[in-house]
Amino acid sequence: MKTIHINSENELREVAEELLSSLDGRTVVALRGEMGAGKTTLIRSVAEVLGACDQVTSPTFALVNQYEGGAGERIFHFDFYRIEDEREAFDLGYEEYFYSGDLCFVEWPEKIEGLLPEELVEVRITVDGPEERTFTIA
């Protein structure tokens, strides 16, 4: 488990790099934190580190966005905040994404807890102040 404290968004690249180095072959990343904690902002930083030129935004209504890294790798970004039932994730075809070998970031994983693969990376984001955050990567 790694814990990183940052004082501003300018330090987020360090967290993104540490997260990528912590994957160890895992491709699903569950991001946990309150509304406004910075889940999408962290995903944006990871996409930048991977060389993506796409605009990273929260897929709140679409449920999933796809970005392309600089080496052509696919990055999927899920936001399950608005789903009411795990069946909605089935309708989306979550299994094809989670078990594709492509990098998948999941916001609000507690909404689909029973569907998450055992082998995943968990990131907990704690809001410590207006710009201060603590990231725990496990």
Q: Domains along the chain?
A: 2-137 (3.40.50.300)
| Burial category of 3 from C-beta neighbours within 10 Å (exposed 0-12, middle 13-18, buried 19 and up) | exposed
Quick one: pLDDT at residue 16?
Answer: 98
- Residue 15: the pLDDT is 98
Distance CA 62, CA 3 (A): 31
Closest CA relative to residue 41, chosen from 12, 19, 67, 82 = 12
Instruction: Check residue 62 and give its pLDDT.
Output: 85
**pLDDT at position 61:** 79
The residue type of 56 is V
Per-residue tokens: 108: 């609000």
Instruction: Indicate the length of the chain as a whole number.
Output: 138
Mean pLDDT by 10 residues, the chain (138 residues): 97 98 97 97 97 90 92 96 93 95 98 96 97 97
Structure tokens at 125: 């984001």
So what's the pLDDT on residue 97?
A: 97
CB 112 within 8 A of CB 17: no
> DSSP characters for the chain?
-EEEEESSGGGHHHHHHHHHHT-TT--EEEEE--TTSSHHHHHHHHHHHTT--SPP---TTTSEEEEE-TTS-EEEEEE-TT-SSTHHHHHHTHHHHHTSSSEEEEESGGGGGGGS-SS-EEEEEEE-SSS-EEEEE-
